[in-house]
Structure 1
């Protein structure tokens, strides 16, 4: 079996809460983002982009999240606000992958959305290839209109995911995987 196939058959995410320093170097980040961008992309539209968060930016973004929770009037206990302040500080490196479809292009938006999903998964794979672990998350703030504005997203853009990258502090656990007999059918004439 090839190393790539073995990796794909055993790949597991590590929860962001269990990702610690050291994180990737600048050269490794460049490699990971370059690999992430090597996906099927009909008509070369690049219907996605990246927003990087270093630790200072993650801290500032956490303050914005806590403020937004207060505005929404949901659980505003100090414990909840602290969770929000720490959201992107769970891992040493975080990147938001933004879906930015080109609606004027002759490529269906669905194809462009699938391309951004491939970007997210390639980024997770690239992190693992560089010796790190990763988790692809969205969470509530990926869908909040006010937060999206604060991230600088334009009309029609959405967050496909926040990819958290770091050194795992625990061994990843596996979960039940689909039984092929439940998800594979045969087309018949």
Structure 2
């Protein structure tokens, strides 16, 4: 139990541009995805799914992002287009967590969406426990229907997050954390 608490106290997000190979792959990646799927899921609806971008598929996805960015921003410079193209190329593995929350007679959409968020966080914690680091991001293309369709999402599916995974290339630093007295209240006190 102490090891788990120590891990949770140390976990930090690492921006994708500071992640490099190696990243989780093969059986280790499969294990990480299985761990990420072990989240609270009221009604066992599995209101999420995963799309893995690795190897040449990252390049294909990056080209989709660059093309759509160019179409949406014809005035953009080549450097700006290249910046957008590289967003999915920094980390060796990127996993899109897809929310497929749907109306249900008993389970609210909000609970289903939170379950997808739990997948994202559990994947980050699992990656850190395996010796990797990561980042949970969305970016503009997570909300662009043309990009989402190219990535295989149905019209009623959304990106909960892109989880960028790899090995840190620089020391992991912490950020300022909330002052607990400012965010915690005790009911009835």
TM-score of the pair, normalised by structure 1:
0.95
In structure 2, distance between residues paired with 1:83 and 1:130: 30
In structure 2, distance between residues paired with 1:61 and 1:21: 18
Unaligned runs of 5+ in 2: none
1:42 corresponding residue in structure 2: 42
1:155 corresponding residue in structure 2: 155
1:170 corresponding residue in structure 2: 170
1:64 corresponding residue in structure 2: 64
SS in 2 for 1:175: coil
Q: Give the RMSD, CA atoms, in angstroms.
A: 1.4
1:22 corresponding residue in structure 2: 22
In structure 2, distance between residues paired with 1:106 and 1:8: 33
The Cα of 1:23 is off from its aligned counterpart by: 1.5
Name the count of aligned residue pairs: 189
The Cα of 1:145 is off from its aligned counterpart by: 1.6
In structure 2, distance between residues paired with 1:147 and 1:105: 31
TM-score of the pair, normalised by structure 2:
0.95
Contact 2:19 2:168 in 1 (8 A): yes
1:136 corresponding residue in structure 2: 136
2:98 corresponding residue in structure 1: 98
Residue deviations 1:34-65 (CA, integer Å, cap 9, x gap): 00000000010000000011121111111111
Runs of at least 4 residues off by over 4 Å: none
The Cα of 1:73 is off from its aligned counterpart by: 1.8
The Cα of 1:156 is off from its aligned counterpart by: 2.1
The Cα of 1:11 is off from its aligned counterpart by: 1.3
The Cα of 1:104 is off from its aligned counterpart by: 3.3
The answer to whether structure 1 residue 33 and structure 2 residue 36 are counterparts is no
Deviates more, 1:7-16 or 1:97-106: 97-106
1:84 corresponding residue in structure 2: 84
In structure 1, distance between residues paired with 2:29 and 2:2: 25
Contact 2:7 2:129 in 1 (8 A): no
In structure 2, distance between residues paired with 1:81 and 1:73: 9
Contact 1:132 1:167 in 2 (8 A): yes
